[in-house]
Chain A
Amino acid sequence: MNKKSIYRIIFLLFIGGVIGAVFSVGLLKFGEAGGLAKLSEIGNFLVDINIYIFVLLVFVLFIPSVYLFMKAKKVYEKIDVMSDDEYEEKDNIAKKKLDTALTLNSIFMVLNFLVYGTTLDKTSDNFLIVLMVFLTNILAMALFEIYVIRFIQRKDTRLKGDPTTFKFTKDFIESCDEAEKLRIYKSGYHAFQSSRSASLGFILITIISNMVLETGALPIVISCIWMLENVASYGYYSVYKK
């Protein structure tokens, strides 16, 4: 390792320290100014209105994702008889709609879990109603995703895999052609890279939050497990090398 690399590492460590110190001081000030009490108030308010949040998620995310899929489906139903030039143009439009629909549906799932997990109150009168609404949303999301995947498979019969089984991803990727596989691997790699940076950031945030606000060790443990998952890529690499 040359001197330049060592200086760069020391500089990055210094910058990390400064960011950590600023974040710690910020959190301390936030705690002293009654920020925690305010957060608690907001939390209680969200618990009271959680059922409306679930309904809002349906209107903001789920319905638009179904709408976009229906639009894409209309294009795909006519696309087979189009000329190559027209096909490319329409395919790009439909693909964007389909990708956006699936992304919105995934965000819908994550936010449903987030709202359910953070605003659940076992002592609340509407506990069972909230549970039912949450389960309905998750079921709708899952059924919609299965429907979209089956539609894609009907349009392109090369694509295999039963979306209701754990083997789906493996079977689906295996049935893709080389260009599709490359695209999937590239996007997986980008997701891995951003996840790696994010996990490091979360470990720092959870450690500082625990030191300053005593948020507990569990978030730190979860962040570390997340990072460990990322480090597992080295293990996979050594397996594939053989």
Chain B
Amino acid sequence: MPLVNYLKVQRAKLGINQAELGKLAEVSRQTISSIERGEYSPSVTLALKIARIFDVSVEDIFIYEEDSSDE
């Protein structure tokens, strides 16, 4: 999946766990965990919501990286 994320890093900076972030973003703890593991790519709405929680831009958390094998 070409979407790299730094959600865990941002979460550590803010000092909150997955459950707390889940509550703030109004999603389940499992969904936060799936995003962190790269198993699930959040919608634009959820990505913006998460970015707002951390008070950073979406690109500070989610980065789209082209797979080198696609080139």
Contacts and interface: CB of A to CB of B under 8 A. Distances in A.
Nearest to A157: B23
Contacts of A182: 40
Given A158-B28, A179-B27, 14 more contacts: A83-B17, A84-B18, A87-B19, A88-B33, A91-B29, A158-B26, A177-B26, A177-B31, A178-B27, A179-B31, A179-B34, A180-B28, A180-B30, A182-B40
Contacts of A156: 28
A80 interface: yes
A205 B18 CA distance: 51
Interface of A: 80, 83-84, 87-88, 91, 156, 158, 177-180, 182
A141 B38 CA distance: 37
Contacts of B31: 177-180
Contact of B30 (A83, A91, A178): A91
A91 B30 CA distance: 9
A180 to B, nearest CB: 6
Interface string B33-49: 11100001011001000
- B contact residues, range: 10 to 19
A68 B66 CA distance: 44
Q: Give chain B's interface secondary structure class.
A: helix
A178 B33 contact: no
B20 to A, nearest CB: 10
Nearest to B45: A178
Contacts of A177: 26-28, 31
Question: Can you list the 5 inter-chain pairs with the closest CB atoms, starting with the nearest?
Answer: A177-B27, A179-B31, A84-B18, A179-B40, A177-B31
**Among the interface residues A88, A156, A177, which one has the most CB atoms of the partner chain B within 10 A?**
A177
B31 to A, nearest CB: 4
Contacts of B18: 84, 87
19 contacts: A84-B17, A84-B18, A87-B19, A87-B29, A87-B33, A88-B33, A91-B29, A91-B30, A177-B31, A178-B31, A178-B42, A178-B46, A179-B27, A179-B30, A179-B31, A179-B35, A179-B42, A180-B28, A180-B31
A181 to B, nearest CB: 10
A211 to B, nearest CB: 50
A189 B10 CA distance: 35
A178 B43 contact: yes
A179 B35 CA distance: 9
A149 to B, nearest CB: 16
Nearest to B23: A158
